[in-house]
Amino acid sequence: MISDHEDIGIGSFACAFGDVECKPENIPDFEALWETVSFGTDFTEMGCTTYRKMSGPVEDYVVDAVRRTLQDAGATAADIDHLVFATSDPNLALLPTDFAGRVLLALGLEDCVPHVVSFQRCCSSLTALRHGQRLFSDPDVTHVVVGAVGFV
């Protein structure tokens, strides 16, 4: 069932990148590692000369992004009915088992229902958006936050 809400949409957006800039050439044996997975593709042709990594726990970055999203949307923690996290299968194993709980507590989302969507490989974020939209089929739902968690 699709929601009767006509005004469902993306009301705000935030992202958090790692705070440490790195270069592939600083990774020991990067050329050999790249050759095993690239099948002869020149790394510079991929358009990436740097990458970012997180110096702290991933949930700190997620909390920051969700907090900025709520502020930009003019929503409070009490307004949020559901928080949907999406991540790819390999990343799911790297998240702490209490990841969702840590994020909810840090944001003060006491009455919010957490959801974790995975096992859809690179489509987990799209599946999470669809799931978030379907949550609005409950007429009491007014705010759903969807977040994608990706890191290497």
Strand partners, 84: 115, 146
pLDDT tens-digit readout, 99-147:
999 999 999 998 999 998 888 777 888 888 999 999 999 999 999 999 8
Q: Residue 77 is encoded by which pair of tokens?
A: 């923690």
How does the average pLDDT of the chain come out, rounded?
86
Q: What is the mean pLDDT of residues 16-28?
A: 88
Side chain identity at residue 129, one-letter code: L
Q: Residue 21 is encoded by which pair of tokens?
A: 């800039």
Strand ranges, E, within 69-152:
82-87, 113-117, 144-149
Residue 78: pLDDT over 80: yes
- The pLDDT value given to residue 9: 67
pTM of the model: 0.79
